[in-house]
Structure 1
Amino acid sequence: MQIKINRLTILSCHSILDQVAEDIAKGIAVDALPDKDIVVCIGAHKRFRGLRQKAGFKICVQTEHFLDARGQALWRKPRWFRMLTNLLICDLMLDLSIYNKKVYRWLPRALKNKIVFGAKIFPSAPVQHVEGNGTAVFFGTVNARRTKLIGASEAYVTLDEGLFSAALDDKIANASAVLNVHFSTGVYTEYPRLLSAYLAGKPLVSETLSPDLEEGRHYIALGGQMNTESFAKIFANFSTEFAAHNRFTDFLVSYAK
């Protein structure tokens, strides 16, 4: 997929990463972009043909979780050949999780200095809360762990796998919240799911996330109270205290020099 917004080009080459690219693009205010050619590749572990020849400031976005907030190894291992290739080609890598920092410790300083950490993918302007039908929807791969934790609660709805783009947007729009259950046991944050929820005006219902987000303030605990008042309050807190400080265009202005 290629998305062009003025002088910004966003590239992706997998259905899940295409969704991340689309969501980032939805939140971009054109007048907030730097006036220069920028190429952003979503998925530092993927191959982007012809990337070396593309003009502009190049950024690859690293979306994988290797370590959680406690330093525990997760199910993903770095695909070093592709990641290092992209890091060498690009001017910068944005890794969404600061807790991955330890896995790069062996890299030479020149490459480590090209890595920036943080969930800098949120919209240029605040999003308004949108009420829904009282349910929290889960989307993504369903494994045994997720099935067990979601359970049979009528408040939690599991969407069919393989929903993306407009079809996924419609399902989220009807709900009151987005449900997050980790693929593997750990303390970490799936920021792309948070972005999808935020763009739709919905708060997140989740098991424990990374310490940069506070349970009961920025998200509703799994099994916690779900009502119109809590949805609105949690969403407002997240919008002003997190999303507003992690805008993608602010990141570009700061680093794409």
Structure 2
Amino acid sequence: MKKELVCSSRGPVTIFSRHVVLNDFADTLLSGLPENFELPQPVAIICGIHNNYRRAVYKNHFTIAIQTEQLLDENGVALWGLRRPRIHKTLLKHLFHADLLLDLSVSNRPAYRWCPGLLKRRLRFGPYIFPSRAPEYVPATSPRGVFIGELSDRRRAMLESLPADTVDIVSGGLYGAALTAAITKHRGIVNVHNEAGVYTEYPRLLLALHAGKPVFSEPLSKELLAGRHYFDLNATPDDDELAEVYTNMAALLTSDYSFADFLRQNVPPA
């Protein structure tokens, strides 16, 4: 299926994306920018570099490419992103054409050891995709969590191992306001890794924050503490605990990993 190039803008920020999931991600990124947001010059964001972008999208802009795939886990174990065909060629292409490349995972840093020294200066690491202000916690009307995403064999097995009738599954076809509405009644978003390891699916945390919901997950990266910023998969929190953990997660992500702050710090004058 041909992936059409979608362009979304807010103020000085334009985001290019080529997949329905990344289109949704782009819209959520833009919605998290402050009102009347300003930068020294306009910036173009290339969202999800594993998709095929032509060089034309890099012309006439200060450009930042975002690498969303997990390449390594926190212990250095190679994951699916590093096994993609021509992954090093893809990274090199975008490093060459973009002014900066933001990889959302600090754990991926060793995967760039081969990069020429001058191009390494263009690399930034960290999940700088979160809004400047978090939405309020949204109380649940259902005791069930919800899993959003593709069902790999591992994910299916993990979800089936959870207590019966505790998780609803949305495996595709809902985006934007319809997806947020489907999440609203649930107690939180359930996060199951595509492959075993210790890492964080940051776009899924952004989705949870956008919906005002906490996260139930397998172990995440070290900046996120189980019981403080998220629940483990088998946790049974009460309403007060749901609100508290969501608030803790939101405070950390908005203060330390703001998309707007990242842009202010990295987009130079024209």
The residue that corresponds to 1:67 in the other structure is 72
The residue that corresponds to 1:41 in the other structure is 46
The residue that corresponds to 2:239 in the other structure is 228
Whichever residue aligns with residue 91 of structure 1, its letter is D
1:198 aligns with 2:206: no
Mapped contact 1:126–1:244 kept (Cα < 8 A) = no
Between the aligned partners of 2:204 and 2:256, the Cα distance in structure 1 is 17
Regions of 4+ moved over 6 Å: none
Could you report, residue by residue, the CA deviation over 1:121-178 in whole angstroms, capped at 9, with x for unpaired residues? 0002122111112221001001221112112531211114232222211111221201
What secondary structure does 1:24 align onto? helix
Whichever residue aligns with residue 42 of structure 2, its letter is D
1:177 aligns with 2:188: yes
The residue that corresponds to 2:129 in the other structure is 121
Mapped contact 2:230–2:249 kept (Cα < 8 A) = yes
The residue that corresponds to 1:96 in the other structure is 104
Mapped contact 1:33–1:252 kept (Cα < 8 A) = no
1:148 aligns with 2:157: yes
Which has the higher mean CA deviation after the structures are superposed, 172-181 or 89-98? 172-181
1:135 aligns with 2:140: no
Whichever residue aligns with residue 26 of structure 1, its letter is S
Between the aligned partners of 1:8 and 1:160, the Cα distance in structure 2 is 30
Q: Aligned pair in 2 of structure 1 residues 246, 33: CA closer, same or farther (>3 Å)?
A: farther
Between the aligned partners of 1:35 and 1:170, the Cα distance in structure 2 is 36
1:10 is matched with which residue: 2, 15, 19?
Answer: 15
Aligned residue pairs total 256
Mapped contact 1:136–1:176 kept (Cα < 8 A) = yes
Whichever residue aligns with residue 153 of structure 2, its letter is A
Which has the higher mean CA deviation after the structures are superposed, 150-159 or 182-191? 150-159
Between the aligned partners of 2:248 and 2:38, the Cα distance in structure 1 is 26
Mapped contact 2:133–2:254 kept (Cα < 8 A) = no
Between the aligned partners of 1:70 and 1:160, the Cα distance in structure 2 is 29
Could you report, residue by residue, the CA deviation over 1:211-253 in whole angstroms, capped at 9, with x for unpaired residues? 1100000000010123211110101111112332111000000
Shift of 1:35: 4.1
Gaps of 5+ in 2: 1-5
Between the aligned partners of 1:83 and 1:108, the Cα distance in structure 2 is 12
TM-score with structure 2 length normalisation?
Answer: 0.91
1:52 is matched with which residue: 50, 58, 65?
Answer: 58
What secondary structure does 1:30 align onto? coil
Between the aligned partners of 1:142 and 1:156, the Cα distance in structure 2 is 13
What secondary structure does 1:242 align onto? helix
